Amino acid sequence: MDMSRLSGHIWTVVSRLIGNVTIGQTQGAPWSTSYYDDGHEIAISGYLLGSNHAKNLIVLLHGLGGGAASPYCRETMSRLGGDDLAILSVDMRGADRSGQDFYHCGLTSDLHALIRDSFIQKFDNVFILGFSVGGHVALKFATEPGAESVRAVAAICCPIDLGACSDWMDGVGRNFYRRHVLKGLKEIYAHVAEVGHEVPTPVERVLAIKTFREWDELTVVPRFGFNSVEEYYRTQSVSHKLRDLRIPSLLIAAENDPMVPAFTIRPHLENVASCLKVCWVERGGHLGFPKNLDLGLGDPENLGLAKQILSWYQTCE
């Protein structure tokens, strides 16, 4: 393994370990709302940090298998939340382990409902910040009608070609990452069955899954009515929809990301909307970056991933 690829692993793993130890408990107060989808009540929960007088709101979306209290979400809240800016970190469907249902990588209906919520509507400006798969959901949302009610979206280390990333993650040498993510997904699924909701595949079979393709085939495809895994990847991937972005969008990618490699992103960046800005980072891994990261997005005194993204958001107001 060459040193650049090794550094990507180090930034990914060490950043997560340090975050688990040093960031502390979830910032903010529990928050929830709900809406009806096909006659079923869907709850959206999370954590809110910020003053009632804040005019601007950033909505955080976590990565696959994670949740609103994932270390990268807590760190972002601790670095950005304050009197002038509210931060709402939300669980995607079922990620709170409530057992109500589970989500897929292109499910944007819950985000649309959240943005229409009366609480969200009171803010002057709403921004979305998605991590990994949360970034994919954010970018896909930005291509759809209704996105104009949000000022801008940012996506960090996000897979834009779901099929290519699934194939990569199912390959040799990614067992450690694959097991970690699948563990979270299986927990969500098991809770759905535990509270008595119907599931498309017996829990015992799902708990034995070892690849992402198998996960998608046995859970996502039957639950959400796709004809095949291939149809799911083709219709839900934002890679071929980037020309349709309706609002300012920021994509931050790490050259040595061990989970979302650059070769799954670059081919899709040739014909994109002019409102998309792409930043490639040399030093970093999957959701792990130097504390003094400078993306050239704003005040050089405000370094670090969160502050740089905030500087970019401010140019979009």
Which of 3.40.50.300, 3.40.50.1820, 3.40.640.10, 1.10.3720.10 would CATH assign to domain 3-290? 3.40.50.1820
Does residue 86 contact residue 56 with C-beta atoms inside 8 Å? yes
pLDDT value at 228 more than 70? yes
**In the chain, what percentage of residues exceed pLDDT 70?**
93
For residue 194, what pLDDT is reported?
95
105-118 burial: b if 16+ Cβ within 10 Å, else e: bbbbebbbbbbeee
Overall average pLDDT of the 221-247 stretch: 98
Instruction: Report the relative pairing of strands 29-37 and 40-49 from DSSP bridges.
Output: antiparallel
What's the chain's average pLDDT? 92
Residue 22: pLDDT band (50, 70, 90) is: very low
Q: What count of residues does the chain have?
A: 317
Q: For residue range 72-104, what is the model confidence (pLDDT) as tens digits? A: 999 999 888 776 899 999 999 999 999 999 999
- What span, in angstroms and rounded, lies between the C-alpha atoms of 260 and 247? 24
Q: Where are the domains of the chain?
A: 3-290
Residue 201 burial by CB count (10 A; 0-12/13-18/19+): exposed, middle or buried? middle
For residue 205, what pLDDT is reported?
98
- What span, in angstroms and rounded, lies between the C-alpha atoms of 298 and 6? 30
